[in-house]
Structure 1
Amino acid sequence: MFSVLLFLLSPALAWIPTEDWGSGNVTASKGDSGQCVCHVFLPDTTFPADRVEHMQQISKDMIIEVEIQINKLVSYEAKLEVYLKDLSQLTLRVGMMESSSDKYIKLDFELLRIELGEFDALVSQLKESLNVSSPLFDSLYTEIQNMTMIVNQLETYDKSNLELIRIEFAKLQKKLEDCQQDQNFEPDFGNCNGTGILSLSKPSVIQLNYHLSSSYVYGGWAKDSKPLRGSESMYVYGGYTSPQVHYFYLYPNYDRLILRSAFKTYTLPSGWSATGNNFAVRGHSIYYQRNSNEMCKINVTTDKYDYRVVSEASSSFSYTYSSSQILDFAGDENGLWVMYATGASKGKIVVAKLDEKAFGIEKKWSTEVYKQLAGNAFMACGVMYATRSVDLTTEEIFYSLDTRTGEERHLSIPFQKFQEKYSYLDYNPTDQKLYMYNNGYYVSYSVKFNK
């Protein structure tokens, strides 16, 4: 405790409330010279100046941070106003498009012009490579010129008729597809008296899938290998972004396929979705894989579903390009087939012939092909063919097993790929073509047999 003279310290003590000066802390007395002296006793504590300084610094930092956040809000508000304005304009444009009878835009015509130009170049290349002049080429060239004129006219005065030109365009594309095949490919439907596949044509790239999405790289497209009368031209497509199929789209003919106009869509119900991609169409029924070892069947006439379990099929083995392809269905001149690998076969492909009426396995054959090393496999004239990659643009048929004789052969039949990976490859006996789903594109090949 200490004492101070009041008259000396009165300025410094002015901040102390007088009511806090207890009677025991202040005393008065008379000094030697007769002056009045007050004695004040203060607690012996030090004022926490360091803590006050720390709090002041924190307060400054918080003020700076608040200013930064306020500036951000101002910036965000300005951006939001721009975005709202753009959104308003976009909404107005969409509304105008929806209310307009003109459903097509300039891009449609530009795409048609580009493709017609490609067809023109293709006809010229075919004519030069084959070194022939025929009425067929002249007719195609004339049709291309006429189509170009029609496109220009329609864009000028009547864009609503673009659907009509698309139909004509699809017909022209089909003619070009047929013309593009090597003239040595002469189909002999139903004849399996030869010694097997000799070669494949160059790939015919039809178009991108129904969804117009490059991410739909898993799936397939096919024709009925044993069509009912009136459904000879039917096409089926199913695709997704993963090795699954949730929908099947049915098209009555090639033109409707090109126009992406399905006459029937199957939405697979809960518990019936397809796993893997290698489905097959036969007898107006779609055969596909459910889970890992269940064969499923949809009758597209009666909408009836059925399934069978292939207990020995192992989910550990799939093709190189796609996972989950445990059961691979195929239809050819000799019937309906399913291919898979088992634990007992140590991953080698087993070929099984199916009884179409009983929907069960009738007979099985073992192969020497490890499924995981094969790109895919298909059946043609009772012969199983396996493929593998040669490089980014080339695939080859490297193995065959004839189920009629049990003969195995090692082959080297190369063919071009449009793009590196594909998830579907299936042969159709009605037109002797291979159907490939190549990274989201419909691709086909004409098959030449050794007679």
Structure 2
Amino acid sequence: MKSPLLSIWATAVFLTFLSQSASGKQCVCELKNLDRPFPMDKLDNIGTVASECNRTITPNQMEEVDVLTLGLQRRLEQLKDSMAVLEKEDDGELYGAVSLRIIELELAEVLELMAKLKGITRSRQQLSQATSSELQNMMKEMLNLEEFDRMQVVKKHRENQRIKRDLAICQHGLQVTPQPPTPARGHCPQGQLVSVSGPRTYALTQYGTSYPYGAWGKDPKPPPGKENMHWLVALTSSNVYANYIRQYSSLTTIVLGVGPTDTVIASSNPTTNTIQGPNVVMYGDALYYGCYYTPSICRFNMTARTVTNVVLPQNSGYNNKYTFGYQEGGYTYTDLDFATDESGVWVMYSTPENFGNIIISKLLTDSPPALGKTWRTSLYKFTASNTFMACGVLYATRFLNKETEEIFYSFDTVTGEERYNLKIQIKKMQTNVQSLNYNPQDRMLYMYSDAYILSYDVIFR
């Protein structure tokens, strides 16, 4: 930054000739600065402040928060396991007293970690506010120093930087985002789904426990520049409706709940074309969901912020008619379940003609969207708690207990083969599963469970 600014200062200096000898052997000139001297002290001060900011704010600070969060998660899991053992094996005497003491010590560790995490979070917020103020002051000072730019050196330098940036964006746009593999449905190159491990991610959303219904995930077909973007839809009205999508720049930011960007579908909630039900997905920078109070599928373009839709087949269930079920009841307004896999977007629904059993339709992701080929299954929807697709195979889950969900059913859209004996278990951290979807890019399941977001590794043989 010093080099162009020193050049600016130099342009304000002029040579004025005063006299010259008759012989031409000697000339005398006077150096005059026709402008006020360049304030080098201000420039040096800006450099000092910038260096201090770089020294104060480091990537290790964010990693420290992540490490504490992970440690707290593991301590809570350990405490939960200890409580389960005590409830199962307590003899009311010595064993119970020892177990209670162990639990007391584990709880103390949890409280200590929470206090430390709270303190660090508070200090990071204060640091962020202070840094923002310093940056604003530095920007004002730099604008004042530009008054010395008589030859517009800084302005031309800035224009060159803008052209370079636009060129880089253009070049990046020409490099097509790697697409997920598109094998023939039912034949995954990685093999057959055999297990689910994790959770790898487990965190409460930025909303806290206010909204237990929702969905989250990562676009399997993101536009350039959004490869690491994660999205979140919480049903913020009656646990049924939503009118905006919240996006985060990375997994870390969504876990920590910082820096979200909200994209509004409609100004009021609920209203025409807003979201009804938790089973939504993002694909190709568009959100697919059940339209509010209509038997239609909505496609919301995140860039153009426009909605197009396609009407469901006649008599298709909507508005809480054919829902997923579990041991204690049903998941309300889950008539439509959207899913992504290697080949695109799918939608699952039911009709009275198919006796409330699940129907699978391939969704053509045009604008407006359209329904493609359709398959009818023998799986009664209320016996399943959720579904997802992987390589053209439908997988259904059911509630086993508060700690375990089970993938028990599959339907292959290539062979038409149905299986009810999979017995693939998923470890839960909360009781209910409001939405579940597979991402073929990272081969992970994204779960929304009682206001918590979780992710799991999908293991193929």
TM-score range, shorter chain: 0.5 to 0.7
Q: Which amino acid letter does the alignment assign opposite residue 376 of structure 1?
A: N
Equivalent of residue 317 in structure 1, options 304, 319, 322: 322
Between the aligned partners of 1:402 and 1:164, the Cα distance in structure 2 is 57
- Answer yes or no: is 1:284 the counterpart of 2:285: yes
Amino acid at match of 1:363: K
CA distance in structure 2 between the partners assigned to 1:324 and 1:436 by the alignment: 17
Residue in 1 that maps onto 2:264 = 266
CA distance in structure 2 between the partners assigned to 1:349 and 1:440 by the alignment = 26
Residues 292 and 327, structure 1, Cα contact 8 Å, conserved in 2: no
CA distance in 2, matches of 1:334, 1:156: 44
Output the amino acid matched with 1:309: V
The residue that corresponds to 2:405 in the other structure is 395
Equivalent position to 1:414, from 420, 425, 431 = 425
AA in 2 matched with 1:442: I
Compared CA separation, residues 163 and 399, structure 1 to 2 (3 A): farther
Matched residue, 1:82:
none
Tell me the residue number matched to 1:378. 388
The question of 1:336 aligning with 2:336 is answered no
Partner of 1:242: 239
Provide the rounded CA distance (Å) in 1 between the counterparts of 2:340 and 2:283: 7
Change (3 A) 1:348 1:384: same
How many Å apart are 1:205 and its aligned residue? 4.2
Cα 1:157–1:374 change in 2 (3 A) is: closer
Distance 1:153 1:215 in 2: 23
Residue 356 of structure 2 is matched in structure 1 by: 347
Paired residues of 1:197 and 1:448 also in contact (CA < 8 A): yes
Corresponding residue for residue 196 of structure 1: 192
CA distance in 2, matches of 1:280, 1:209: 17
Residue in 1 that maps onto 2:447 = 436
SS at match of 1:344: helix
Cα distance in 1 between the residues matched to 2:322 and 2:73? 42
CA deviations 1:280-303 (Å, max 9, x no partner) are 100000011012521001101111
Cα deviation, residue 121, structure 1:
6.4
Structure 1 counterpart of 2:381, which letter? K
| Structure 2 Cα separation of the partners of residues 156 and 305 of structure 1 | 40
Distance in 1 between the 2:123 and 2:212 partners?
38
User: Which structure 2 segments of 5+ residues have no match?
Assistant: 1-64, 79-112, 132-179
Q: Given the superposition, is the C-alpha separation of residues 164 and 385 from structure 1 closer, same or farther in structure 2, using an over 3 Å criterion? A: farther
What is the percentage of aligned positions where both structures have the same residue?
Answer: 33
Aligned equivalents of 1:355, 1:157: Cα separation in 2: 49
> Deviation string for 1:127-156 (max 9, x for gaps)?
xxxxxxxxxxxxxxxxxxxx99x9899799
Q: Which one of 207, 212, 221 corresponds to residue 211 of structure 1?
A: 207
SS at 1:115 equivalent:
helix
Higher-Rg member (1/2):
1
Q: Which amino acid aligns with 1:412?
A: K
Structure 1 unaligned residues grouped into runs of 5+: 1-110, 125-146, 166-188
Q: What corresponds to 1:14 in structure 2? A: none
- Whether the 8 Å contact between 1:203 and 1:443 is mirrored in structure 2 is yes
Shift of 1:368: 1.5
The CA distance in 2 between the partners of 1:151 and 1:219, in whole Å, is: 26
Asked if the contact 1:294–1:309 (Cα under 8 Å) also holds between the matched residues in 2, the reply is yes
TM-score (norm 2): 0.58
1:252 deviates by 2.3
User: Are the counterparts in 1 of residues 265 and 305 from structure 2 also a CA contact under 8 Å?
Assistant: no
The alignment status of 1:404 with 2:414, answered yes or no, reads yes
SS at 1:324 equivalent: coil
Task: Label 1:163 to 1:225 Cα distance change in 2 as closer, same or farther (>3 A).
Answer: farther
Closer, same or farther in 2 for the Cα pair 1:210/1:155, shift >3 Å?
Answer: closer
Q: How does 1:72-83 map to 2 (within 5 A)?
A: none
Query: 1:421 Cα deviation (Å)?
Result: 0.8
Q: Deviations along 1:391-432, whole A, 9 cap, x unmatched?
A: 121110011111122221221111111111121111111111
CA RMSD between the two structures:
3.4
C-alpha displacement of 1:376: 0.3
Shift in Å, 1:210: 2.4
CA contact (8 A) 1:427 1:433 kept: yes
Residue of structure 2 in register with 1:251 after alignment: 248
Task: Judge which range, 414-423 or 246-255, deviates more.
Answer: 246-255
**Shift in CA distance, 398/154, structure 1 to aligned 2, threshold 3 Å:** closer
Inter-CA distance 322–268: structure 2 relative to 1 (3 Å threshold): farther
Q: Following TM superposition, by how much is the alpha carbon of 1:237 offset from its aligned partner in structure 2, in angstroms?
A: 0.8
Q: Which whole-Å CA distance do the structure 2 matches of 1:437 and 1:156 have between them? A: 27
Cα distance between partner residues in 2 of 1:155 and 1:288:
35
CA distance in 2, matches of 1:273, 1:156: 36
Q: How does 1:77-92 map to 2 (within 5 A)?
A: none
Q: 1:157 to 1:319 in 2, by over 3 A?
A: closer
**Aligned residue in 2 for 1:224:** 219
- The answer as to 2:457 corresponding to 1:446 is yes
Alignment match of 1:367 (pick from 343, 360, 377): 377
Distance 1:420 1:352 in 2: 29
